[in-house]
Amino acid sequence: MGEVSLFFINGRIAAAESSELREADVLVDAAGIITAIGTGLPAPEGAEVIDCAGCLLVPGMFDVHVHSREPGDEHKETLASCAAAALHGGVTGLVLMPDTSPPVDSGNLVKSAMDLVSEVSPIPMHQSGCLTKGRQGTELAGFSGMASRGVPMLTDADRTVSCPDLMRRCMEYARDFDLLVTSHTDTPALSKAGVVNEGRVSYRFGLPGIPGISQEIAIDRDILIASHTGARLHLQQLSTARGLESVRRAKEAGTKVTCEVSPHHLVLSELEIRDYNTHFKFNPPLRSVEDTEALVAGLIDGSIDIIASDHAPHTEFEKSSDFGSAPFGAAGLETTVLVLHDRFIRTGVFGWDLLIQRYSDAPRKLIGQLPVAISEGTAAEFFVFDPAAQTVITRDYLRTKSPVSPFIGETLAGAIRGTIVRGMWFA
Ligand SMILES: [Zn+2]
């Protein structure tokens, strides 16, 4: 908790319910509770005044797809550096993927992960569990132990459960324990050793391609198994227009399915990959311009429920190998709000209300948490955003241990001035 009250004056409050911004001062007491909201409020004695003139107060974002790398790969990222990156990006809560070393596949490992989080993280982090033991895709992980520890979701994190019989049993158990199954949709027999989208770019670069149907077949399969078993299914990282069409049809048919999209699949296509720059190597890969446009439309019409960064830290050394051998993924926690504001909010494609719905409200609801709003009597959980400022994305700007991002070198409109959560103001 902070030592004094914080008084945020002259700002405008953004909310999920409306694209209108409300001018108001916000008083947060030393315990981190919003005690007053209004215009012309007197400053209480001893309060630290934070002038937010020209700035917005935006509810904290929540990221359901984050790789922290601790334990096992602390040279890439630690829980502490991950939390610092999240706060720097306006993210006040997140779900950790279970692909650490060892992978989190039992109730005991969930408990030790959560113990570590409570020791080192200033923000709420929820530990997900594996679907299969060791993410090996051969036998079920410890569902009942993980359920008793309150895991928010089960996933093999960037790996598909290839065997349809095993995936069916995962979903049957998940249904019985009322757990959410989260699926990285891929068909390894089609993706093979692919590294970029199969098509013009893979041919031009002479790199092995990953066809769109690799994800689309897996989406269709998992939707069918979910519909057959009645399990709740969440699909990670949609990347193609046809995959999105399958989700639309499944939702219309009443299947309990939700899906997410990453910022890089919304704003970058395969055409942005130049000079074999491995910062643009993702799994699923960056797709065609048409796919990107379809994903933006799906985000706006609600077919895509959630934005998630897939924050996947790697060292610069690992990413400096050739395009074929470098690992997939990049850091995302610090750039998601900035990039989406720059490309979509600033240009009027959608408003703050939509970003808050898809990156703050819906992700919390997905794992049974209450959305956060800036309202009296609630805990302060928001960030201050200056739309008139600019942010230059450099390695030094990033607080993650992994200064690997496709947006390095870009100047983005807007800047995050600070984030408040649990009564602490991080500026
Ligand atoms: Zn991931």
Residue 229 belongs to a domain with what CATH number? 3.20.20.140
Q: Same domain, yes or no, for 48 and 112?
A: no
Residues 21 and 105 in one domain: no
User: Is the backbone peptide bond immediately before 102 cis, with ω within 30 degrees of 0?
Assistant: yes
Closest among 361, 247, 233, 235 to 298, alpha carbons compared: 247
Same domain membership, residue 245 and residue 211: yes
> CATH number, domain at 40?
2.30.40.10
266 and 350 in a single domain? The answer is yes
Q: What is the pLDDT of residues 46-69, one digit of tens each?
A: 999 999 999 999 999 999 999 999
- Per-residue tokens: 134: 């060791």
Has residue 400 been placed in a domain?
no
The residues annotated with a catalytic role in the active site are 310
How far apart are the CA of 166 and the centre of ligand 1, in A? 21
Q: How far is the CA of 25 from the centre of ligand 1 (A)?
A: 38
CA gap 254, 122 in Å, rounded: 39
Domain count, the chain: 2
Q: Determine which helix (DSSP H) or strand (DSSP E) holds 261, and give its type and residue range.
A: strand 257-261
Strand segments, DSSP code E, in 60-108 are 61-66, 91-96
CA of 410 to the centre of ligand 1 (A): 24
Mean pLDDT of the chain: 97
Query: Which residue from 86, 81, 59, 84 is spatially nearest to 69, judged by alpha carbons?
Result: 81
- Over residues 232-258, the pLDDT tens digits come to 999 999 999 999 999 999 999 999 999
In this structure, what token pair is assigned to residue 304? Answer: 């895509």
Q: Give residue-wise pLDDT tens across range 157-188.
A: 999 999 999 999 999 999 999 999 999 999 99
209 and 338 inside one domain: yes
In a shared domain, residues 51 and 78: no
Based on the domain organization, do 89 and 33 belong to the same domain? no
**Residue 104 counted as domain residue:** yes
Domain limits at 358? 60-366
In a domain, 1, yes or no: no
Identify residue 37 by its one-letter amino acid code.
Answer: I
Q: What is the pLDDT of residues 66-109, one digit of tens each?
A: 999 999 999 999 999 999 999 999 999 999 999 999 999 999 99
User: 179 CA distance to ligand 1 centroid (A)?
Assistant: 19
Contacts of 382 (CB under 8 A, 6+ apart): 57, 58, 59, 60, 92, 372, 374, 419, 420
Residues 52 and 68 in one domain: no
80 φ, ψ to 5°? Answer: -65, -45
- Look up residue 215 and give its amino acid: Q
Residue 399 lies in a domain: no
Please check whether residue 402 lies inside any domain of the structure.
Answer: no
Q: Across residues 310-335, what is the average pLDDT?
A: 96
Q: How far is the CA of 113 from the centre of ligand 1 (A)?
A: 18
Decide if pLDDT at 2 tops 90: no
pLDDT of 3 reads 77
Per-residue model confidence as pLDDT tens digits over 381-408:
999 999 999 999 999 999 999 999 999 9
**34 and 127 co-located in one domain:** no
Domain end residue (candidates: 314, 331, 366) = 366
Say yes or no: 154 and 28 in one domain.
no
Give the amino acid at 244. L
User: In this structure, is residue 146 part of a structural domain?
Assistant: yes
How many angstroms is it from 20 CA to the middle of ligand 1?
A: 34
Does one domain contain both 24 and 164? no
Question: Cα of 67 to ligand 1 centre, how many Å?
Answer: 6
- Residue 40 and residue 99 in one domain: no
Query: 251 vs 191, 217, 305, CA distance in Å?
Result: 27, 17, 11
Structural domain contains residue 258: yes
List the one residue out of 150, 31, 57, 80 whose CA is nearest residue 372: 57
Q: Which two tokens stand for residue 313?
A: 């830290």
Judge whether 384 lies within some domain.
yes
